[in-house]
């Protein structure tokens, strides 16, 4: 399992949408600017029942957090911008659901947990409030844990 390559594929998919000023593979340490941007972060990994007999397949989750300043103008465009960016990213991921062979599939429909998911919220960074949309991106990766007694 090549975690770095998986991050790279998700990053590339997001950048292909043309909706982001930047996409980075870590959580921001300072307040983002006025444009729509996204941070990719690992959320977790667990073994699942999609395995073979002698190795455990895992479900690996990445969260892509999209930011836009809460006080951007026009304010009516804040949520549509976030949703458009999130949906466009999902479309890119669904059209390459094996991420170029790095994963078995993106668990689009939640066969082994929650599906592709997009949740809006807020976050305060350096006293600035941002409207956010979290993309939950679950991926199935074959045979990561070989088994032997």
Between residues 45 and 50, which has the closer beta carbon with respect to other proteins?
50
CB of 144 to other proteins, least distance (A): 12
Between residues 78 and 136, which has the closer beta carbon with respect to other proteins?
136
Between residues 59 and 65, which has the closer beta carbon with respect to other proteins?
59
Q: Are strands 22-24 and 37-47 parallel, antiparallel or unpaired?
A: parallel
CB of 10 to other proteins, least distance (A): 19
CB of 103 to other proteins, least distance (A): 13
The rounded distance, in Å, linking the Cα atoms of 66 and 85 is 8
Between residues 87 and 108, which has the closer beta carbon with respect to other proteins?
108
The answer to whether the beta carbons of residues 65 and 85 sit under 8 Å apart is: no
Torsion from C-alpha of 20, 21, 24, 26, nearest 10 degrees: -90
Give me the residues that bind other proteins (CB under 8 A), please: 49-56, 105, 107-111, 142-143, 147-149
**Strand-pair partners of 24:** 39
The rounded distance, in Å, linking the Cα atoms of 63 and 121 is 13
Residue 19: both structure tokens together: 């909706």
CB of 139 to other proteins, least distance (A): 13
């Amino acid at each position: 399992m090549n975690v770095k390559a998986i991050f790279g594929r998700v990053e590339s998919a997001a950048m292909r949408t043309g909706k982001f000023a930047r996409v980075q593979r870590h959580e921001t340490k300072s307040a983002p600017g006025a444009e729509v941007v996204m941070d990719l972060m690992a959320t977790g990994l667990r073994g699942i029942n999609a395995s073979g007999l002698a190795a455990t397949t895992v479900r690996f989750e990445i969260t892509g957090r999209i930011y836009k300043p809460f006080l951007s103008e026009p304010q009516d465009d804040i949520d549509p911008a976030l949703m458009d960016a999130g949906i466009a990213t999902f479309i890119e991921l669904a059209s390459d659901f094996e991420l170029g062979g790095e994963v078995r599939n993106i668990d689009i429909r939640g066969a082994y947990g929650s599906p592709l998911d997009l949740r809006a919220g807020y976050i305060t960074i350096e006293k600035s409030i941002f409207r956010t949309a979290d993309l939950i991106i679950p991926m199935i990766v074959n045979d990561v844990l070989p088994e032997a007694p």
